[in-house]
């Protein structure tokens, strides 16, 4: 990946999350953009402040203290553009994930066509679908209207008909939207986003335009076999911004500093993953996972096509209180290496949902957080795979397909007690196959780079190329069937100086080949028993170039899907062994 020379200029990025507000400063150093420092503060959307601006101010104050760079004037307003004396910054961008998920109703003609597309559209932002209406809906029209009046959705997404296709059926579905806008008072009317047959736009404007709240974007299904979500995602991001500006005091200043460019954090995150997919191996995709308090975000991209899933139900915060409605207690307990009763686990989930900013202070709490991170990744990845079936399955097996690289974000990962523990959480939660590189977003800057990319793509590229991210290591994950202890892979690694390491890898183990950070090496892989290492099919081996990561080169031969012992003592012993290997 090569980038052009940076233009002189500084940029401030601010992200208001549900728990933390972060500010990052980027400046030009030796002709290239670099991440300089960050400041962090608790988000102040709730009592006693009830104003996100206070958290932003504290984060900026801490960033000023860390850098000695004056950012705010005497009135606590950001100095943008910068002054001749160097104070302030030349540009600012802002992202947001704070606030309750938007309640969304989706209306489409066919369940498996337009309705499916707009449900994927809704899943690409901080929202929960509360009502679905389609031609197959057997309720009477008045029952559909009653449901919408009772639920009072923030947004109604409407799709249906290919461009130049059906109009009468779409008109019939739209009747309920007109009645909804007519019956609700101005302050309670939802935003309407129409992404169906474009021929109906003029009539909709004439019929519903007087009520306001009407938005349009290109058809998400212009043809039956073509889906285009990106323009509608941008329109929905604009609606998200409008709603948040009305409901979160203190946000107007932040939006003003960014030139009216406040964006959902998840969409900015997805933009980076989509960009990376155009720069890496086109035969694979790029995967991003961000475990936050408000949601877990999954973003997969293939040659510039983004599959984005934002799952508020799988956040590491308020939604934990309902997590056991979506999985069983044993699903969490299987990741634990300590004895923990169901009551204790439920109590922890309840407390964490009320106080998502609390930090684990004991080995027991660390174990629970690690189990939660693994389970949330599994659930979110499964949901994304379902939403975009069959794009995210490995040759029809239900396993994760090959990705290069996998980018991971979230405090539960970046603040893990060790990089080995972070890597093990990712290997367990994602269970990659074949050959991939695991990259940790140590400073949580991916959304900032996505927001900056629209106006300063050079900055985003150059920071991605820098050491702001931690390469945990190349991971080889063989897929096949053999008894534990059976040799399944022969490995030879040749380092730059000619030194060789040879290893026979056995089923059920994790092995590490030491390779210093940044140092190149060449791997020769020879799978046994028709194992698939991602080099062309079962039993196929080959040679590949690798670069040393923080933990070297890792071979995860524990099997896919990963099956752990039921007995907690055996599981504890295995995890101790794996951690020793990964820790060197």
CATH number at residue 92: 3.30.420.40
Question: pLDDT value at position 2?
Answer: 47
Looking at the fold, whether 459 and 529 belong to one and the same domain comes out as yes
Q: Are residues 278 and 342 in the same domain?
A: yes
Q: Provide the domain limits for residue 486.
A: 266-583
536 within some domain: yes
Please list the rounded mean pLDDT of every run of 10 residues in the chain (584 residues).
60 97 96 96 95 98 96 94 94 97 96 96 98 95 96 97 87 92 94 96 90 94 95 98 97 96 97 93 89 97 96 97 95 95 95 94 94 98 91 75 95 97 98 97 97 92 93 97 97 94 97 96 97 94 96 97 95 97 93
Q: Is the same domain home to 172 and 92?
A: no
Domain count, the chain: 3
- Extract the runs of DSSP E, i.e. beta strands, from 382-514: 403-409, 434-440, 470-477, 487-495, 500-506, 509-513
Residue 5 lies in a domain: no
Residue 6 in domain:
no
Task: Give ∠ CA 74-79-85 in degrees, rounded to 5.
Answer: 90
Question: What digits encode the pLDDT tens for the residues 46-92?
Answer: 999 999 999 999 999 999 999 999 999 999 999 999 999 999 999 99
CATH of the domain at 154: 3.40.50.280
Are 485 and 447 in a shared domain? yes
pLDDT value, residue 57: 97
Verify that 233 and 374 share a domain, yes or no.
no
Contact 175, 208 (CB under 8 A): no
Domain-embedded: residue 2: no
Residues 155 and 68 in one domain: no
Reply yes or no: is the peptide bond before residue 81 cis, omega within 30 of 0. Answer: yes
Q: Do 474 and 533 share a domain, yes or no?
A: yes
How high is the pLDDT of residue 283?
79
Decide if 481 is inside a domain.
Answer: yes
Q: What angle do the packed helices 168-183 and 141-151 form, to 10 degrees? A: 40
> By percentage, how much of the chain surpasses pLDDT 70?
98
Residues 281 and 389 in one domain: yes
Give exposure, 53-90, as e/b (b: 16+ Cβ within 10 Å).
bbbbbbbbbbbbeeeebebbeeeeebbbebeeeeebbb
85 and 174 in a single domain? The answer is: no
**219 shares a domain with 293:** no
Query: In angstroms, what CA-CA distances link 282 with 309, 359, 405?
Result: 21, 40, 12
Q: Do 224 and 301 lie in a common domain?
A: no
Could you tell me which of 390, 462, 400, 466 has the C-alpha nearest to residue 434?
400
Reported as a single tens digit per residue, the pLDDT across 513-548 is: 999 999 999 999 999 999 999 999 999 999 999 999
Q: Is the residue at 4 inside a domain? A: no
Q: Quick check: is 409 in a domain?
A: yes
- Rounded mean pLDDT of the chain? 94
Please state, in angstroms and rounded to a whole number, the distance separating the CA atoms of residues 90 and 88. Answer: 7
Three-class secondary structure of residue 34 per DSSP: strand
pTM of the model: 0.94
Is the same domain home to 93 and 175? no
């Amino acid at each position: 990946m090569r980038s052009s020379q940076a233009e002189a200029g500084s940029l401030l990025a601010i992200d208001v999350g549900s728990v933390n507000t972060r500010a990052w400063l980027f400046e030009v150093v030796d002709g290239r953009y670099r991440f300089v420092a960050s400041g962090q503060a608790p988000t102040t959307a709730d009592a006693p402040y009830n104003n996100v601006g206070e958290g932003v101010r504290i984060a900026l104050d801490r960033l000023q203290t860390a850098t000695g760079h004056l950012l705010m004037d005497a009135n606590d307003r950001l100095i943008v553009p910068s002054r001749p004396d160097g104070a302030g910054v030349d540009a600012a961008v802002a992202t947001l994930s704070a606030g309750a998920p938007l309640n969304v109703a989706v209306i489409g003609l066919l369940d498996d066509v337009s309705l499916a597309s707009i449900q994927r559209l809704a899943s690409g932002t901080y929202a929960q679908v509360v009502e679905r209406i389609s031609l197959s809906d057997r309720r009477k029209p008045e029952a559909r209207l009653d449901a919408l009046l009772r639920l009072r959705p923030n947004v109604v997404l409407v799709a249906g008909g290919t461009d130049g296709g059906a109009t009468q059926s779409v008109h019939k579905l739209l009747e309920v939207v007109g009645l909804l806008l007519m019956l609700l008072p101005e302050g309670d009317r939802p935003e309407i986003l129409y992404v169906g047959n474009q021929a109906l736009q003029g009539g909709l404007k004439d019929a519903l335009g007087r009520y306001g709240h009407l938005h349009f974007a290109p058809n998400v299904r212009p043809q039956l076999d073509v889906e285009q979500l990106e323009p509608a995602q941008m329109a929905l991001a604009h609606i998200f911004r409008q709603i948040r500006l009305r409901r979160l005091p203190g946000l107007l200043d932040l939006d003003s500093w960014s030139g009216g460019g406040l964006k959902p954090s998840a969409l900015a995150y997805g933009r980076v993953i989509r960009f990376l997919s155009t720069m890496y191996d086109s035969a694979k995709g790029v995967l991003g996972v961000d475990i936050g308090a408000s949601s877990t975000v999954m973003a997969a991209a293939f040659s510039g096509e983004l599959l984005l899933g934002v799952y508020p139900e799988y956040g590491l915060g308020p939604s934990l209180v309902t997590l056991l409605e979506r999985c069983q207690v044993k699903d969490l307990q299987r990741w634990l290496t300590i004895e923990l009763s169901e009551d204790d686990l439920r109590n922890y989930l309840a407390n964490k949902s009320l106080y998502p900013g609390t930090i684990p202070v004991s080995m027991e709490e660390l174990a629970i957080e690690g189990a939660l991170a693994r389970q949330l990744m599994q659930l979110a990845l499964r949901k994304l795979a379902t939403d975009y079936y069959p794009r995210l399955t490995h040759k029809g097996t239900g396993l994760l397909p090959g990705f290069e690289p996998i980018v991971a974000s979230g405090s539960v990962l970046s603040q893990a007690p060790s990089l080995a523990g972070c890597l093990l959480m990712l290997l367990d939660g994602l269970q990659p196959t074949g050959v991939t590189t695991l990259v940790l977003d140590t400073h949580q800057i991916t959304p900032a780079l996505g927001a900056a990319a629209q106006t300063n793509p050079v900055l985003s590229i150059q920071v991605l190329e820098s050491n702001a991210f931690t390469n945990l290591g190349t991971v080889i994950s063989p897929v096949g069937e053999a008894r534990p202890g059976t040799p399944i892979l022969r490995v030879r690694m040749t380092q730059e100086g000619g030194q060789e390491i040879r290893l026979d890898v056995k089923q059920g183990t994790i092995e590490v080949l030491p390779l210093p950070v940044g140092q190149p090496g060449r791997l020769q892989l020879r799978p046994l028993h028709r194992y698939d290492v991602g080099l062309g099919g079962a039993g196929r081996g080959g040679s590949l170039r690798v670069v040393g990561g923080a933990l070297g080169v890792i071979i995860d031969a524990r099997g896919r899907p990963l099956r752990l012992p039921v007995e907690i003592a055996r599981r504890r012993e295995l995890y101790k062994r794996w951690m020793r290997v990964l820790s060197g």
